[in-house]
Amino acid sequence: MPSSNFVDYVKIFCRSGHGGAGSAHFRREKFVAFGGPDGGDGGRGASIILRGNRQYWTLIHLKYQRHIFAEDGQSGSGARSSGRDGKDIVIDVPLGTVARDAESGEVVCEVTEDGEQQVLLAGGRGGLGNWHFKSATNQAPRYAQPGEEGREGAFILELKLLADVGLVGFPNAGKSTLLSALSAARPKIADYAFTTLEPNLGIVEVRDGHSFVMADIPGIIEGAHEGKGLGIRFLRHIERNSILLFMIPADSDDIRREYDILLGELAQYNAELLDKGRLLAVTKCDLLGEELVQELRPSLPEGVETVFISSVTGLGLRELKDALWRELEKENR
């Protein structure tokens, strides 16, 4: 996807600022023969901070800014004058960004709220001036603390979309068509597999002025947790969805089997996904009569609410929105 503006994975190298050195200065003024120590403290090195910004939805602004170096704190000087602190570097990231250590893979921090700030690398502390070390037995200390060194490291930033409802299904299940029917989003729609190559978000209006965010995730195929198809590249976006809407076409050979395959892929990627609320939408039902719908019911998976819909004719869309809203209210209790 070289031409795509959606970037949800970047690797950056960062280094925070070194702390400024403390000063070993002595007071020297006319008529003051033995001025005492008056060396000031060094300034703090600049930190590197991640800040959540709801105006961002991709990490593309970091794609070509792979090296981020913060400035050092200034050294202290005479008259107990402290050095200037380094100016922190604040990196705006979309909500749902996870920072991992590139070597260990451990999560360093997560940013999920607008305006939330997480320190990625703290700057080094400034050294103390020599006046801090004056005592009754050492009234003229000729040493001061050096500044603390800054830290450096490589980090991987991953974006996991924050949405209320995530659409899960095989390619060509009608996910993009449903998103365009329920919201103002206009994802690419075509009659071939993997039309959707990047997640799309849309706001769905419900009754009484309520709304929720729906995410169209690229299609999953059997073996996706092992990297097949688009693999785990987009499976991580499902982790942050409140509930999951499974979508299977009415002309599927075996609806229950396809549902089990999708559920199995999610379970093998992250078993915690099975704890999320789930609904099933049987799509492309505009050509089905009531008799065919009744014939399909015995083949449906058990334990999940099912809605028959058609995004083209609008069949069942109101019922689907109400069912999704009820499930969201249940999850938020």
pLDDT digits (tens, 9 = 90+) for 170-183: 887 788 888 888 88
Chain-centroid distance, C-alpha 46: 24
Give the confidence band of 225 by pLDDT, cuts at 50, 70, 90.
Answer: very low
Q: Which of 170 and 196 is assigned the larger pLDDT? A: 170
Determine the CATH number of domain 165-331. Answer: 3.40.50.300
- Ordered by start, the domain boundaries in the chain are 1-159, 165-331
- Distance between CA atoms of 6 and 141, rounded to whole angstroms? 58
Q: Domain 1-159 is of which CATH architecture?
A: Distorted Sandwich (2.70)
Give the confidence band of 252 by pLDDT, cuts at 50, 70, 90.
Answer: confident
**Hey, do 1-159 and 165-331 end up sharing a CATH topology, with the first three levels equal?**
no
Give the confidence band of 331 by pLDDT, cuts at 50, 70, 90.
Answer: confident
- pTM, two decimals, is 0.66
pLDDT at 5: 57
- Distance between CA atoms of 158 and 154, rounded to whole angstroms? 13
- Distance between CA atoms of 213 and 215, rounded to whole angstroms? 7
- pLDDT tens by residue, 269-308: 888 888 888 999 998 887 777 777 777 888 888 888 999 9
